């Protein structure tokens, strides 16, 4: 069963919007777990997020702020994709 996440987000102009994602996979890099998500209607794009999960199961998506951490997560995601092929 695929896991779906509905996130409340803010655009560049500060306007709130809601977007629904499907969790494609989780990946762990240097002990940190990230989510690889596909937004509804954007099946060709994968978004990588840091996240926290509350005890009630609520997930908060967080931008990966550190460029080096993002690059490592992206490299790990691409390596997993190659393994799947």
Which residues neighbour 17 within 8 Å (Cβ) at sequence distance 6 or greater? 8, 9, 10, 11
Supply the DSSP symbol for 14. S
pLDDT tens digit string along 2-44? 789 888 888 889 998 888 999 999 999 999 999 999 999 888 8
Alpha-carbon distance of 71 to 79, in angstroms, equals 12
Closest CA to 5 of 44, 54, 74: 54
pLDDT for 1 equals 56
Which tokens hold the place of 26?
Answer: 């989780």
Q: Are 34 and 64 in contact (CB under 8 A)?
A: yes
Q: What is the mean pLDDT of residues 51-67?
A: 88
């Amino acid at each position: 069963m695929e896991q779906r996440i509905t996130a409340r987000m803010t655009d560049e102009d500060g306007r709130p919007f809601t977007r629904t994602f499907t969790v494609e996979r989780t990946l762990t890099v240097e002990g940190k777990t990230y989510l690889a998500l596909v937004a509804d209607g954007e099946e060709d794009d994968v978004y990588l997020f840091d996240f926290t999960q509350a005890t009630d199961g609520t997930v908060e998506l967080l931008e990966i702020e550190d460029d080096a951490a993002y690059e490592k997560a992206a490299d790990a995601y691409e390596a997993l994709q190659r393994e799947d092929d």
